[in-house]
Structure 1
């Protein structure tokens, strides 16, 4: 979703065009945009607003045609959390931008922003994208981030050929899971997978031990690979990869014929 405007749940019409403000500042600078409801005012009423995530700031407008933002949420130093939907909140897909996500820096915001998406998927996408913006300077937000961007950042910690999360998962699976039945087929503990994902996305580096469920680690690795914007084998290299595989098959066949 980087560098494009994603519109979800417009209360006016589908397939809307980006606002004049977005066109003026350039589509390439927009990470995400769409309709959200924002709680505000003394009586905490809900208002539909057009949100635009650009750089490390979240702007909100009266509608997508407005050129002047009603307000701005400065993201560095904050954290974003999602609310579980239950009871009276059923059908409300809520998340908050809260001051104090980064303990090393003071935030310019001293206000909590409660926002509501139209669907669960929309809420999760917003949370993931905002979290990536907040923590990317610290090596976080790696789920859904381009593989080359993660590797480029992590090279400051050593000459890595793969993301540290991948190395950590693979090393653990090789040590504890090669004899495990149903590896990469049986699911892990969904709540623990989510906790580990959030921890890695927040720039933390959680460790595994002998008590960690290997299926949970395998599920975490599968989730990371599934959320890559582009597969490990890039689209533009796919045909070359197939051609290489065919050459290897021919070589194997020639060896079998010669030894037979």
Structure 2
């Protein structure tokens, strides 16, 4: 931690959800080959609510950086329609006692209820997943797609992408801002705390902080912030990295360093690996 150290968002209100009218959004639809689907950020089955009948249709959804496309079948090459993501927000819909089994989330375009220059009306899009965990995965993936170009979406993002963006937008750092901020706070407030990194933090607060960082914000840890919450946030960030902190490509080299018998040689070899790794990250 010493080496690393140098708001709650209100629920976004949305109007009564209406599904997209395919004719209105046909201009956004484009052919998509199975090969392109393989390169998608995420793909899977979801149910969407139709605008007039209010019934549910099962469709194959493919998430890309610019939009969420849907197909009648997994093998279809042409999308039936899409949901544009730029400027949008995605929120989980709280379950109610009358229908607790539905795992719903809504995508709200940035200009909900308004019309763009083409005259296309923007409505909220209500979707249903098969399970709570599936719904949460979709929400996280869509948020990453929305906020990654703006410096957000850091949870589940490759370290190289995070470091590249932060270097372009500010002073180059050795670690992501989130890691540095957490490490500094833990070093200042938690080194003598019993159960550090073992005791769980406040789940709701961890979720709020995660959402804030994923929106590209830089939330401030003040004196009222629980150190276990910050530690849990850091653990969550590391756990959701697509690749371990020591990447698979460097695993053998670092393992060889650890197997050296003499401490001095071990330290020198590890330092050399770290320097070489840092050069690669900087070059990328």
The equivalent residue for 2:166 is 154
Residue 118 of structure 1: aligned partner: 130
Counterpart of 2:95 in structure 1 is 85
Cα separation, partners in 2 of 1:109 and 1:182, compared to 1, 3 Å: farther
Post-superposition CA distance 1:10-50 (Å, at most 9, x none): xxxxxxxxxx943264633x221111000112231111111
Corresponding residue for residue 55 of structure 1: 65
Structure 1: any 5+ residue segments left out of the alignment? 1-19, 255-260
- Is 1:222 matched up with 2:235? yes
Query: Aligned partners of 1:148 and 1:22: how far apart in 2?
Result: 28
Higher relative contact order (CA 8 A, sep 6+): 2
Which deviations, in whole Å up to 9, do the C-alpha atoms of 1:92-135 show, x marking residues without a partner?
A: 11111012299xxx898711000001111211111111101100
Q: Which runs of 5+ in 2 are unaligned?
A: 1-30, 267-284
Asked whether the 8 Å contact 1:133–1:141 carries over to 2, the reply is yes
Task: Look up the SS of the partner of 2:41 in the other structure.
Answer: strand
| Cα distance per residue 1:150-178 (max 9 Å; x no partner) | 01100121111110000000000011111
How many residue pairs get aligned? The number is 230
Alignment of 1:231-242 (within 5 A): 231-242=244-255
How far off is 1:194 after superposition? 0.4
**1:86, distance to aligned residue in structure 2 (A):** 4.1
Deviations 1:53-95 (A, max 9, x none): 1231111111123233221111011011112334123221111
SS of 1:85's partner is: coil
TM-superposed CA distance for 1:219, in Å, is 0.2
Q: TM-score, normalised by structure 2?
A: 0.76
Q: Secondary structure at the match of 1:144?
A: coil
- Paired with 1:151 and 1:253, the residues of 2 have a C-alpha distance of 30
